[in-house]
Structure 1
Amino acid sequence: MKKHKSLLLLMTLILAIGTALAGCGSNNNEGAGSSGNKPKEQVFRMNLASEPPTLDPGQAQDNNSNTIINAVFEGLTRKGPDGEEVPGVAEKWDISEDGLKYVFTLRNDARWSNGDPVTAKDFEFAWKRVLDPGFAPAPPYAYQLYYIKNAEAYNLGELDDPDQVGVKAVDDHTLEVTLENPTPYFLSLMSFQTYYPLHSSVKDNDKWATKAETIIGNGPFKIASMTKGQKIELAKNDQYWDHQSIKLEKVHMSIVNSSATELSSYRNDELDYAGHPVGNIPTDQLAAVKKQMPDELNIKGISSTYFYIFNTTQEPFDNVNIRKAFSMAIDRQAIVDKITQGGQIPAFGFVPPGIKGEKDEFRKEVPDKYFEENIDEAKKLLDQGMKEKGYTTLPAVTLIHNSDDNHKKIALAIADMWKNNLGVQVQVQNQEWGVFLKNRSALNYQVARSGWGADYNDPMTYIDMWTSGGGNNDTGFKNEEYDKLVKDAYATDDNAKRMELMAQAEKILVEDNQVVMPIYYYSNVSLIKPWMKGINIDFKGDLDFSRAYVE
């Protein structure tokens, strides 16, 4: 899934935004856990580390946006507490014997927040909108719909007629979907935001996702208000088909880009949850938190990866040996032991633990031994790469990360390792989240922080994003062999063969080309007040508060 901000993650002028968290400046409870000052009503209070770039399900690609979108919209299925797909807008579905046709039956009581019925046409419209080659800016997750027959051809402009795309509203309550190939995880994709429906009103309003009053959703909550740069407030959606199961009346989300301030507000009982996105708790205070609030602290491994990406189109990282040198010259164990300190695992592959393989976990079946840390070898590779490029000195290098004190600590530590181990001076630059994403997408960088959490439980969610021209491929990497491996994995329903093909693709990505520099596999480090029940953090670190309540 999604970019951490992202697993995910990620990831200030406190005085300028101090009003977003009342009482942040004082802390009368630094040395203890909860004071017991719980909300008097069914309200959940959390913080977003940055302003969501968009609330359009067809354009979203980050954790902050998706946390809100997943509360305001719902797909044909939704994720259950264990990550399994359970009925959402669709009350049932039938799958053909060959696995190529899905017929979804929508609930009669599914409603938009304004009371209009949710129909099969709302799904057909939303999916074809994402695939429309004229839709700008190009949706980063359009490729996630390529499982549908003729979807890729239409999106790439090779097919003019959208009616030939394999999604059709047979009637208001029946959606027929035809696939290119059998896809064993297709039902889990139905709970992913790019597959959410859209209300017909968006057709006449390009700015619909920027105002609370024009965002019409079909999920458990609706947007009550948005104050840019300060807060977003949600309210229970009484039109939601399962509204009787929703106990929270309100969700208050502050927007403060400081994990220290977030933790202070949690200590002061101004927040019920701290740690979003993935583990956003100050690392230098984690030891104290473990000691003072052990019953409120949650640390669990999740299927997300923290990594750096190289711009393979820009010097000096258009040379593979220089990329390999940089990746081999850092100490990942030192980073997780001395900086993150939250149970993270050093990463030498891209697919994290916890993702299904042929019979067990993919990472157990395919060990991540694609490279090793070796300073002497890294120096040799750097020299070789410089000779290949004709360099006498390495061009200036800048590493960018989105504004976050934890990301900054990691970046400074890695830059110091590059200086000490390779003799390379690297400038570290932080950027506001929206600017950071735009620069990555436009390939306006050399090295950049990134994070990725699973969109569904299959290695493909980590593999197909790096195909040529992929909407989330922010590296400029293009490789015909890689693209073919992904295409062949799509085309077979032989699970053993699929895993073999994806393992070959991961090797090309990480070992042969070092397009990504894996750093660690995430853990989720979060704090939850004892009165908050039903908060779910799934296998990939996504936060689901839809069935939460104050006890």
Structure 2
Amino acid sequence: MSTGRRICVLVSLFLLFSFISGCGEKNQPSALRAKEQVIRYNICAEPKTLDPAKANGVPEATVMLQLFDGLTRYDANQQIQPAMAESWQISQDGLTYTFKLRDAKWSNGEPVTARDFVYSWLRALAPETASEYAYQLFYIKGAEEYNSGKGKKEDVGVKALDDKTLQVVLRAPAPQFLGLTSYMTYYPVYRKNVENNDKWFTDPKQYVCNGPFKMVSWEHNQKITLEKNPYYWDEKNVKLNRLEIYLIESLQTGFTMFRSNQLEMQNEVAVQELKSLQGSKELLIVPDASIDYYQFNLSRKPFNDARVRKALAMAIDRNQIVKYILQAGQKPAYAFVPYGMAGVEEKDYRQEGGDLFKEDIETAKKLLAEAGYPDGKGFPKVTLLYNNNENIHKVAQAVQQMWKKNLGIEVALQNVEWQVYLDRQAQQDFDITRTAWSPDYLDPMTFIDLFVSNGGNNNTGWSHPAYDRLVSEANSTGDQKTRMEAMHKAEKILMDHMPVMPIFFYTHPVLIKENIKGVITPSFGTYADFKYAYVE
């Protein structure tokens, strides 16, 4: 198809907010603050990396969305728009995509070419890169084979026909592919930097990018400062001069800074502040098609026994958690894929699939007894690992108490800072760990393909041949009915075996000053997009 093609997705998955805020010191005149066009925003975590090939977290994706453009970019109206690609054509069989690149430059003034995309995608796939997200490129012909060491780089179906023409050949039709080209693993990187400095992504002076902003400083665990990129192809529509991204983990500290006008926006709100903020124009609760869940480490006893995993999943009261602890309209999760993903004929996938398990304390006790732990007796000492966050800690405490009351088992709690948390999950160094997942693109597959055998983000150790076959079946056809049926079957297997324990489906409470406008807050992938943001 031609450049005008737009993929429409579910209403309310993207919201364009009209809100404005003061950006200078507390007592500066509003006219001066507006002239400065500066926003200070707390994402509540220090990014582990700002290398697009190696990042896998929402804080990382949020920062890089300001720094990069992929071939496409989602707009405020939930549609895919041309970004680095000014147009594209899709072959009749859905296998070949031909992207025409616009005249665009890196932040150092050099041109961005189709060869930059070829280099960057092959780098993400290279076995030595060890990208946890390499599987997002497996839709491309030969990509999985190259990543696994069974194929050659030159057989991967991505080619620069000339400086401005990128040709991509898929292994099978993939309706979600165009949306994926907006995602961070598909971003181009500046080859000279990568090849000359293996720490290029840590040094603002060496960080060359192609997005609305460029990085000028990174004060670790404090803030990242971005400035408008004068070489950005759409520079005329970027209104902010500076974006200061704060990395403060404490929600309460961030809230205090917001109240004292040291921040204009914070990604999350401490639950104890929600009641006092009700009715405030500075609190926005927006849709978020994400899930919070616990992962079990199947390589450690007793979690190698599905009866134990199912008992723990069935023994907590999710309604109590969302109603009395979180208090922001979250929904209890009795399946893995959240609401907000289109199913067959644009029906909601979750409504199609319904609940796949239920809470049942008596059955949970029975399963635990059958596994050899009647009333929790003999249950080993285990620990629940999670990242520093007041809200997550409150949920963990509630789950800990419910397991003790309902099953008679003791679970210790351990919270660590964001980078340590990600590292320990990747190394499978946990008994149980809290995780959240936001969709990378608007399709249920972004949740379902997480748990294929040896998947880059499958930290559970779980593997199931029938599950793998169903995911492969869904990824081998462009027929939506066939795809959705295969994914529903796979999700049922996942919940029957319970390597992961769903807890709740998200909403997104945001602190925002009234005079910030044009921020796009998506329900997937990132916290916010500031390309069109401005201070009024």
Task: Determine the structure 1 residue equivalent to 2:91.
Answer: 96
Does residue 268 of structure 2 align to residue 250 of structure 1? no
Distance in 1, matches of 2:138 and 2:284, equals: 37
SS for the counterpart of 1:335 is helix
1:325–1:38 CA distance, 2 compared to 1 (3 A):
farther
The count of residues paired between Structure 1 and Structure 2 equals 509
Contact 2:377–2:409 at 8 Å: present in 1 too?
no
Task: Determine the structure 2 residue equivalent to 1:365.
Answer: 352
SS for the counterpart of 1:134 is helix
Task: Determine the structure 2 residue equivalent to 1:154.
Answer: 146
Contact 1:44–1:251 at 8 Å: present in 2 too?
yes
SS for the counterpart of 2:492 is helix
2:423 maps to which of 438, 443, 446: 438
Task: Determine the structure 2 residue equivalent to 1:306.
Answer: 292
Letter in 2 for 1:425: E
Task: Determine the structure 2 residue equivalent to 1:539.
Answer: 523
SS for the counterpart of 1:170 is strand
**Unaligned residue ranges in structure 1 (runs of 5+):** 1-6, 8-20, 29-34
Q: Please report the TM-score for the alignment, with normalisation by the length of structure 1.
A: 0.90
Q: Please report the TM-score for the alignment, with normalisation by the length of structure 2.
A: 0.92
Contact 1:301–1:344 at 8 Å: present in 2 too?
no
Task: Determine the structure 2 residue equivalent to 1:356.
Answer: 342
Does residue 530 of structure 2 align to residue 520 of structure 1? no
**Please, which moves more after superposition, 122-131 or 540-549?**
540-549
1:126 maps to which of 90, 95, 120: 120
Contact 1:301–1:343 at 8 Å: present in 2 too?
no
Letter in 2 for 1:366: G
Letter in 1 for 2:107: S
**Please, which moves more after superposition, 237-246 or 181-190?**
181-190
Contact 1:93–1:104 at 8 Å: present in 2 too?
yes
Distance in 2, matches of 1:387 and 1:345, equals: 31
SS for the counterpart of 1:60 is coil
Task: Determine the structure 1 residue equivalent to 2:445.
Answer: 460
Contact 1:259–1:404 at 8 Å: present in 2 too?
yes
Does residue 375 of structure 2 align to residue 395 of structure 1? no
Task: Determine the structure 1 residue equivalent to 2:182.
Answer: 191
1:57 maps to which of 35, 52, 77: 52
Distance in 1, matches of 2:201 and 2:259, equals: 34
What is the correspondence of 1:228-307 to structure 2 with a 5 Å cutoff?
Answer: 228-274=220-266, 276=267, 280-291=268-279, 293=280, 295-307=281-293
Distance in 2, matches of 1:313 and 1:445, equals: 10
Contact 1:230–1:255 at 8 Å: present in 2 too?
yes
Distance in 1, matches of 2:499 and 2:284, equals: 33
Instruction: Describe the superposition over 1:82-141 as per-residue Cα deviations: whole angstroms up to 9, x where unpaired.
Output: 232100000000110000000000012x10000000000100000000111122xx1110
Distance in 2, matches of 1:151 and 1:470, equals: 14
Task: Compute the displacement of 1:327 (Å).
Answer: 0.5
Letter in 1 for 2:488: A
Contact 2:297–2:303 at 8 Å: present in 1 too?
yes
Distance in 1, matches of 2:33 and 2:362, equals: 56
Distance in 2, matches of 1:265 and 1:134, equals: 42
1:22–1:48 CA distance, 2 compared to 1 (3 A):
farther
Letter in 2 for 1:402: N
2:166 maps to which of 165, 175, 178: 175
SS for the counterpart of 2:76 is coil
Contact 1:347–1:520 at 8 Å: present in 2 too?
yes
Please report the RMSD computed on the Cα atoms of aligned residues, expressed in angstroms.
1.9
SS for the counterpart of 1:330 is coil
SS for the counterpart of 1:214 is coil
Distance in 2, matches of 1:179 and 1:253, equals: 37
Distance in 2, matches of 1:345 and 1:38, equals: 39
Does residue 404 of structure 2 align to residue 410 of structure 1? no
Task: Determine the structure 2 residue equivalent to 1:10.
Answer: none
Task: Determine the structure 1 residue equivalent to 2:134.
Answer: 142
Does residue 75 of structure 2 align to residue 80 of structure 1? yes
Contact 2:373–2:379 at 8 Å: present in 1 too?
no
Distance in 2, matches of 1:82 and 1:311, equals: 40
Distance in 2, matches of 1:305 and 1:244, equals: 37
Task: Compute the displacement of 1:301 (Å).
Answer: 2.5
Distance in 2, matches of 1:65 and 1:157, equals: 28
Identity %: 44
Instruction: Describe the superposition over 1:353-409 as per-residue Cα deviations: whole angstroms up to 9, x where unpaired.
Output: 110101211011111x21111111111011111269xx9601101001101111111
1:493–1:39 CA distance, 2 compared to 1 (3 A):
same
1:36–1:394 CA distance, 2 compared to 1 (3 A):
farther
Runs (4+) off by over 6 Å: none
Contact 1:83–1:539 at 8 Å: present in 2 too?
no
Task: Compute the displacement of 1:228 (Å).
Answer: 1.4
Distance in 1, matches of 2:265 and 2:226, equals: 16
Distance in 1, matches of 2:370 and 2:114, equals: 58
What is the correspondence of 1:333-344 to structure 2 with a 5 Å cutoff?
Answer: 333-344=319-330
Contact 2:125–2:143 at 8 Å: present in 1 too?
yes
Distance in 1, matches of 2:247 and 2:426, equals: 24
Contact 2:377–2:408 at 8 Å: present in 1 too?
no
Instruction: Describe the superposition over 1:299-334 as per-residue Cα deviations: whole angstroms up to 9, x where unpaired.
Output: 123211111111111111111000000010000000
Letter in 1 for 2:308: I
**Please, which moves more after superposition, 432-441 or 115-124?**
432-441
Distance in 2, matches of 1:190 and 1:22, equals: 36
1:326–1:341 CA distance, 2 compared to 1 (3 A):
same
Contact 1:46–1:271 at 8 Å: present in 2 too?
yes
2:210 maps to which of 210, 218, 243: 218
Distance in 2, matches of 1:52 and 1:506, equals: 31
1:112 maps to which of 106, 115, 119: 106
Distance in 2, matches of 1:528 and 1:134, equals: 42
Distance in 2, matches of 1:55 and 1:158, equals: 29
Contact 2:24–2:38 at 8 Å: present in 1 too?
no
Distance in 1, matches of 2:464 and 2:391, equals: 33
Distance in 2, matches of 1:542 and 1:435, equals: 21
Task: Compute the displacement of 1:36 (Å).
Answer: 11
Letter in 2 for 1:283: V
Task: Determine the structure 1 residue equivalent to 2:467.
Answer: 482
